[in-house]
């Protein structure tokens, strides 16, 4: 995996992130979701590295990154704390301004990074998620049936860790055939570590509390994402079942918005890497043109 990429650990002041990075050109930060690691991007990152500097970390608490001590309010696993890590990581690697791509839980970190640090984020790609505050404001019986794990993992009495640690492979159910052998082993190493399992549950506990509050404060204040936004969702997942046109939700958060569905199940980077890489190159290429203008205009984006 990640041939030609460097591998290192970078301190952020609050955590230490395991990261792989490579390529050259305008920087882009790729943020994984739950329960994946940075390795979920292994089929996409090499393609992007031809024209971009690609940075793929394990979020704090996930994979081989450190697991800060938890607190009663779960703030150490808030998306704001994870966004601070990401900003410190990119600056440590020499990138003051960069694009961000987030999937699943990484979507919430990417959104928070763009909201809290607008001068740093040039472009935002969010995948398979709408803001946490919007999710919980719309949560109904249909959502509870489909996404019940949000509330199970978020329980503060910590039953989830005991259940998951009894048989992590059965609980998560991923396969090497879908993920690729090396990515699967990286993922299995993570889910068999009780400290990682606890940290992933803390991510959800923060989501139900401090993360929701942060979104609600921003919404009441009328704050919006300053940079261009691309929202992609898996056509064979449940975004449309839950929200109809999910772009309508993101329009309340971003003025410069485009997006559409990808013919894939939930883990787009693993199931439809070529299509995803093409969409990202097209969108991120607009950033490259801001740095080095090209004589020929880019083709129009195929999505709405």
3-state secondary structure 61-128: CCCCCCCCCCCCCCHHHCHHHHHHHHHHHHHHCCCCCEEEEEECHHHHHHHHHHHHCCCCEEEEEEEC
Residue 281's contacts (CB-CB under 8 Å, 6 or more residues apart) are: 47, 48, 51
Residues forming beta bridges with residue 278, ordered by sequence position: none
Rounded Cα–Cα distance for residues 30 and 8 (Å): 16
Per annotation, catalytic residue among 193, 216, 266, 301: 266
Q: Is 119 exposed, middle or buried (0-12, 13-18, 19+ CB in 10 A)?
A: exposed
Which H helix or E strand runs over 8? strand 6-11
Rounded Cα–Cα distance for residues 145 and 240 (Å): 15
Please indicate whether residue 74 is annotated as part of the active site: no
Length, in residues, of the chain: 304
Per annotation, catalytic residue among 58, 85, 104, 186: 104
Residue 262 · residue 235 · CB < 8 Å: yes
Rounded Cα–Cα distance for residues 287 and 29 (Å): 13
Please indicate whether residue 192 is annotated as part of the active site: no
Active-site residue numbers? 104, 266
């Amino acid at each position: 995996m990640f041939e030609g990429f460097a591998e290192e650990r970078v301190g952020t002041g609050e955590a230490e992130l395991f990261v792989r990075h490579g390529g050259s050109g305008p920087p882009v930060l790729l943020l994984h979701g739950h329960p994946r690691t940075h390795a979920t991007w292994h089929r996409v990152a090499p393609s992007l590295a031809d024209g971009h500097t690609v940075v793929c970390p394990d979020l704090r608490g996930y994979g081989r990154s450190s697991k800060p001590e938890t607190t009663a309010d779960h703030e150490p696993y808030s998306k704001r704390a994870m966004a601070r890590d990401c900003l410190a990581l990119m600056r440590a690697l020499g990138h003051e301004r960069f694009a961000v791509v987030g999937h699943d839980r990484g979507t919430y970190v990417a959104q928070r990074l763009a909201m809290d640090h607008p001068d740093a984020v040039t472009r935002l790609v969010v995948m398979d998620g709408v803001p946490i505050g919007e999710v919980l404001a719309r949560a109904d019986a249909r959502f509870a049936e489909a996404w019940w794990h949000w509330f199970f993992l978020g329980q503060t009495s910590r039953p989830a860790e005991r259940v998951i640690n009894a048989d992590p492979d059965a609980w998560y159910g991923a396969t090497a055939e879908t993920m690729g052998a090396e990515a699967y082993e990286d993922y299995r190493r993570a889910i068999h570590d009780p400290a990682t399992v606890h940290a992933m549950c803390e991510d959800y506990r923060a989501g139900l509390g401090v993360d929701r509050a942060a979104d609600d404060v921003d919404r009441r204040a009328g704050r919006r994402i300053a940079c261009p936004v691309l929202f992609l969702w898996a056509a064979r997942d449940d975004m449309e079942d839950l929200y109809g046109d999910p772009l309508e939700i993101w329009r309340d958060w971003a003025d410069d918005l485009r997006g559409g569905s990808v013919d894939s199940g939930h883990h787009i980077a693993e199931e439809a890497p070529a299509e995803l890489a093409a969409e990202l190159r097209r969108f991120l290429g607009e950033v490259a043109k801001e740095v080095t203008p090209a004589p020929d205009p880019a083709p129009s984006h195929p999505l709405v």
